[in-house]
Amino acid sequence: MKHTEIAHILQTEPTINELTIRGWVRSFRSNRFIAVNDGSTIKNLQCVLDFENFDQDLLKDITTGACLEITGELVKSQGQGQAVEVQVSSINILGTADPEQVKRTILSPKRHSLEKLREQAHLRVRTNTFGAVMRLRSKLSFAVHEYFQKNGFNYMHTPIITGSDAEGAGEMFRVSALDPKNPPLDDKGDVNYKEDFFAKETNLTVSGQLEAETFAMGLGKVYTFGPTFRAENSNTSRHLAEFWMIEPEVAFNDLADNMDLAEDFIKYVITYVLENCQDDLLFLEQRLIQEDKSKPAAQRQEMTLREKLHFVVDNNFKRVSYTEAIDILKNCKPNKKKKFKYLIDQWGADLQSEHERFLVEKHFKCPVILFDYPATIKAFYMRLNEDQKTVRAMDVLFPGIGEIVGGSQREERYDVLKQKMKAMDISEEELYWYLDLRKFGTCTHSGFGLGFERLVLFVTGMGNIRDVIPYPRTPGNAEF
């Protein structure tokens, strides 16, 4: 018999027609009340059975974690907490779960630390918290594609394996088919990558931006949404070695257009989950409220989760130059009283999360877009301003997280780009094709990058980026 998802059942009126559900047991009380969840919603469905009408051996197999198929009539609930429940007529055990083994896992019905859940990442999606986070991640992913498709963008798949380093960071994962114990050497004694699979040194991509620019020069509006990799040895709550990036590139857009696009896009996807994921957001909000109660007052959140999301959606983003932001920070109380970990004493400083959050949460009290950064702290492809000191870069800053989007108007002038590449020791030979874009019909164009996990982190209120991706890849950890 075809089964019905619990999310649908909970929105259905009682009926005399029998229905079938399939899901996993969350609890079994008094040999009578089974709480079942199938992952379609954070809410469980209560199934009520008359134990005298069922075989005792079958009842023994109804344990936490077991997978069941239940058929019965949907009736008005006799208890509190749910509008409807299933009056069970038959049960089929699809998969058992030994109670003694369950006790040693995160499926056991007690609170577990997030660190413990990471150790059993293959099971953690069956907990309330991770079920909610991953449903939200899925909905956000859909909203990303929906926004760009509705607005005439073409989705492109940029290479995972590349010979270029878009960021110039040098922290990349090497891709090679050579024997690591006995690689071929050249005349100088160096590894001879000409004998490798691609006949050159290659890496996992850190960004699809440069390739996306090439397509924007033919298709007008494109976006990428795919995995990217950074070999940074960072064991922090905000860094992953493998993560997903959203990168639109638009021909004829200048920096102001780029800011408009970033603001409109972010508001769209957050509005989408506010409208379509209310149960999961409410659960995660209540979780954060309970978590805050155990913290000192100074460390508690000023806004609830949904208030924070509305803070972004309902406010216009304030646009502030880097120079103006530096003046504000230099003269603010936390800087003067040396409360900042990184003091701001001169123009040219690379802003840290504490500075970005101060601007958003304390000074302007709305999301902020900073623009026109010093050229020395930004990438080679950003358009140089007339002052020769700043570039047409922008960062979008959010409460609680700081920078969430980084973008720029790209340098479209061939000679200027060549000079910048030379000054930053970036090979013209390797990126000849990127320079070609400036030789064959160049034009103003812009784009930005948004780390998808940063977005999920913000929307879910989770504190560690390892808890918003199914299987985190971090230094020393590539489990599952």
- Domain with residue 40: its CATH number is 2.40.50.140
Quick check: 240 and 170 in contact, CB under 8 A?
Answer: no
Q: Could you tell me the two tokens for 33?
A: 């009340």
207: Cβ–Cβ under 8 A, 6 or more apart, which residues?
166, 167, 228, 245, 247, 449
Mean pLDDT across 158-174: 81
- Cα atoms in the Cβ-side hemisphere of radius 13 Å centred on 244: 22
Query: Residue 338: which CATH number?
Result: 3.30.930.10
- Counting the structural domains of the chain, the total is 2
Is residue 135 one of the residues assigned to a domain?
A: yes
Domain-ending residue, one of 45, 69, 104:
104
Integer Cα distance of 296 and 302 in angstroms: 13
Q: Please, what is the average pLDDT of the chain? A: 95
Q: Which of 69, 104, 139 is the last residue of a domain?
A: 104
Are 216 and 351 part of one and the same domain?
yes
If you average pLDDT over residues 80-94, what whole number do you get? 94
Instruction: Based on the fold, state whether residues 143 and 91 are members of the same structural domain.
Output: no
pLDDT surpassing 90 at residue 1: no
pLDDT > 70 in the chain, percent: 99
164 and 77 assigned to the same domain: no
Q: Provide mean pLDDT across the span 95-115.
A: 94
Please give the average per-residue pLDDT across 4-24, as a whole number.
94
d(CA 449, CA 395): 10
Within a domain: 111: no
User: How much is the pLDDT for 335?
Assistant: 96
Asked whether the beta carbons of 446 and 409 are under 8 A apart, the reply is yes
| 479/122 Cα distance (integer angstroms) | 10
pLDDT in tens, 110-146: 889 999 999 999 999 999 999 999 999 999 999 999 9
How confident is the model at residue 380, as a pLDDT?
95
Cβ atoms < 10 Å from Cβ of 345:
10
∠ CA 423-395-152, nearest 5°, is 100
Residue 346 in any domain: the answer is yes
Closest by Cα among 325, 327, 334 to 359: 325
231 within some domain: yes
User: How confident is the model over 91-97, as a mean pLDDT?
Assistant: 97
Quick one: tokens of 117? 């859940």
Distances (CA, A) of 50 to 56, 143, 362, 442, 464: 12, 44, 59, 75, 44
pLDDT at site 163: 86
Residue range(s) defining the domain that contains residue 50: 6-104
**Predicted local confidence at residue 421, as pLDDT:** 94
Which pLDDT score, from 0 to 100, does residue 23 have? Answer: 98
**472 in a structural domain:** no
Q: Are residues 25 and 146 in the same domain?
A: no
Could you tell me if 275 and 409 lie in one domain?
A: yes
Average pLDDT over residues 165-189: 86
Q: 74 and 221 in one domain?
A: no
pLDDT at residue 169, as a whole number: 56
Q: Is the pLDDT of residue 168 over 80?
A: no
- Please give the Cα distance from 391 to 258 (Å, whole number): 14
Examine the domain organization and report whether 69 and 210 are in the same domain: no
Same domain, residue pair 409 and 275? yes
Q: Are residues 313 and 384 in the same domain?
A: yes
pLDDT for the residue numbered 166: 63
What pLDDT score does 170 carry? 60
The verdict on residue 195 lying in a domain is no
**What is the 8-class DSSP label of residue 358?**
I
* DSSP single-letter state for residue 129: H
Identify whether residues 70 and 15 lie together within a single domain.
Answer: yes
Same domain as 265, residue 230: yes
Residue 52 is assigned to a structural domain of this protein: yes
H or E element: which one contains 6?
A: helix 6-9
Give dist(CA 143, CA 260) in Å, integer: 18
- Report yes or no on 237 lying in a domain: yes
Q: Using 50, 70 and 90 to split pLDDT, how confident is the model at 70?
A: very high
The stretches of 151-254 forming alpha helices (DSSP H) are 209-219
**At residue 228, does pLDDT exceed 80?**
yes
Kindly report the number of other CB atoms within 10 A of residue 149's CB atom: 12
Shared domain check, 330 and 232: yes
Confidence of residue 167 (pLDDT cuts 50, 70, 90): low
